[in-house]
Structure 1
Amino acid sequence: MHTASVQQNILEELDRELAVTRQVLECVPTDHFDYQPHPKSMKLGQLSSHIVNLLKFKQLFIEGSERDFLDTSAPKPPPSPTSSEELLARFDQFSADLRQALHDSSDEKLGETFQLRRGEQVLMDRPKGAALRIMGLNHSIHHRGQLTVYLRLLDIPVPGVYGPSADAMGGF
């Protein structure tokens, strides 16, 4: 029996989550980018952009060894997209970049340590593969869940994520 490598397992999981995330992002209409369900919530456009920009953050887990949030020389996220088309184009590019970085990696490299810091304070110290799953994929899945709630509140049909949605089933 052949066991898949850590790299192969993460790539398979990533491909599944990217496909579902793209389906959800395809539902985000440009004319509702300013929608904010609560004063403490991000606007729809900000949340969607954050989900997309997290793809670059995940790539850092694979290619780098650390990220210090106090490092002012670190690359800043690009400006938020101003349209659904721009959002999806960035998603496609960042997804391809992340997939390539993971493809170019190995189980050995994914076992190396990645540190997330705020100056001297260590926020996370994990193997890259674990960091990618915990702070990368899980973080994105959390925000994608928020995004589906925004869509529901706007009465926009929500695609199925881990099975059919109420919209796909014709409601309850």
Structure 2
Amino acid sequence: MMKQALLGEFLHEAESTRKLLKAIPDSALNWKPSEKSWTTAELASHIAEVYNWYDGTFNQDIFDMGEYQYDKGDITKAENIVAKFEENFAKAHQAMEVSDESTYFNEWRMEAQGNSLFPPMPKIQVIRSFLYNHLYHHRGELIIYLRSTGNSVPGIYGPTADDKM
């Protein structure tokens, strides 16, 4: 039951993520709001990467960041970021499908070289915060990036100012 609820939200929200990533023009990829911020390309790439963390979260009790490697690919073109999202989305979907719902309350840890990076917590809490809410936070940032560069924003939870009513 919990797995089906998480899967339903995942599928619905992935469509919104897809629409948002497809709205990024190449001309906005190098823009960033401050020196401390990521560029649009880096932020969009990070959003795509979050989907690469699903297997390590849903199907493992320890996520080892010390061993984690990720090839973000060529982020100089928006279509490449969308393609990486699609690749990671497919892996995330599969990871959820094969996950065992009875493990969702297992203690989960993120480590690097044997050191905990965060306090241990139930896997379901990590799924909701580390995967889902983290992603929603960065999508909100990306919307601001698009607005700040004069680009249109697709409707996610309803129409935007760009939609004709």
Normalised by the size of structure 2, how large is the TM-score?
0.90
The residue identity in structure 2 corresponding to 1:95 is F
Q: Distance in 1 between matches of 2:117 and 2:42?
A: 27
CA distance in 1, matches of 2:14, 2:119: 24
Task: State the partner residue of 1:120.
Answer: 115
Equivalence for 1:50: 46
Q: Secondary structure at the match of 1:7?
A: helix
- Contact kept in structure 1, 2:54 and 2:96, CA below 8 Å: no
Q: Which amino acid aligns with 1:63?
A: N
SS in 2 for 1:123: coil
Residue deviations 1:114-134 (CA, integer Å, cap 9, x gap): 112355345142222221111
Question: What is the 5 A alignment of 1:76-115?
Answer: 76-80=69-73, 81-115=75-109
Q: Quote the offset at 1:63 in angstroms.
A: 2.0
Where does structure 1 lack aligned partners over 5 or more consecutive residues? none
Greater mean alpha carbon deviation, residues 60-69 or residues 82-91: 60-69
Check if 1:29 corresponds to 2:29.
no
1:12 Cα deviation (Å)? 0.5
2:133 is aligned to 138
Answer with 54-63 or 105-114: which moved more: 105-114
Q: CA RMSD in A?
A: 1.7
The separation in 1 between residues aligned to 2:107 and 2:78, in whole angstroms, is 36
Tell me the matched-pair count. Answer: 163
Instruction: State the shift of 1:67 in Å.
Output: 2.4
Instruction: Map Cα deviations across residues 36-74 of structure 1 (whole Å, 9 max, x no partner).
Output: 1111110000000000001112331012221244x2xx1
Match of 1:11 among 3, 7, 26: 7
Q: Is the 8 A contact 1:30 1:84 kept in 2?
A: yes
Structure 2 unpaired stretches of 5+: none
CA distance in structure 2 between the partners assigned to 1:111 and 1:121 by the alignment: 18
Shift of 1:35: 0.8
